Structure 1
């Protein structure tokens, strides 16, 4: 799969300049530490905030929490309909 949706270096720079200094410094330090472009680090941070299972914007699911709850309810109904049990998750 070819990824085409990325944060541009120009957009990343503008974003970084708008961040509070401690956050900006930490982001730049982390980017240097992992030897990865800062726009990639920003993209991963934002995408993972939206979807913990994504690697970047291209595979990020941006469903709202209510949409996710609805999907979970549908999946649970299908599981029960097929005679299976849905394990209870700890709160």
Structure 2
């Protein structure tokens, strides 16, 4: 299997055709609104699902949720050990 850096137009179309109509229509509408190819919009949607801070797969952190929870637990332990006060974020 050949890996690529971008989702191909053909692969994106196959995927989009398999989606429920409301999701398909939303992707196509958004793609037209921002004037980006639908495969880019689909890639961004998946990357954003994996990492809220990413703009695409190139800067997406694809750690598993378990690995991310472990890193958070380590950081929280270090914060407690060093008596660091972390301000609460507004809701």
TM-score with structure 2 setting the length: 0.81
The correspondence of residues 42-61 of structure 1 with structure 2, limited to 5 A, is: 42-61=42-61
| Alpha-carbon shift at residue 12 of structure 1 (Å) | 0.6
Two-structure CA RMSD over aligned residues (Å):
2.1
- In 1: Cα distance, 2:7 partner to 2:65 partner: 24
| Alpha-carbon shift at residue 82 of structure 1 (Å) | 3.2
- In 2: Cα distance, 1:68 partner to 1:41 partner: 25
TM-score with structure 1 setting the length: 0.81
| Alpha-carbon shift at residue 90 of structure 1 (Å) | 8.0
- In 2: Cα distance, 1:87 partner to 1:65 partner: 24
The total of aligned residue pairs comes to: 88
- In 1: Cα distance, 2:11 partner to 2:65 partner: 28
Question: What are structure 1's unaligned runs of at least 5 residues?
Answer: none
- In 2: Cα distance, 1:44 partner to 1:32 partner: 15
Larger RCO (CA within 8 A; separation ≥ 6): 1
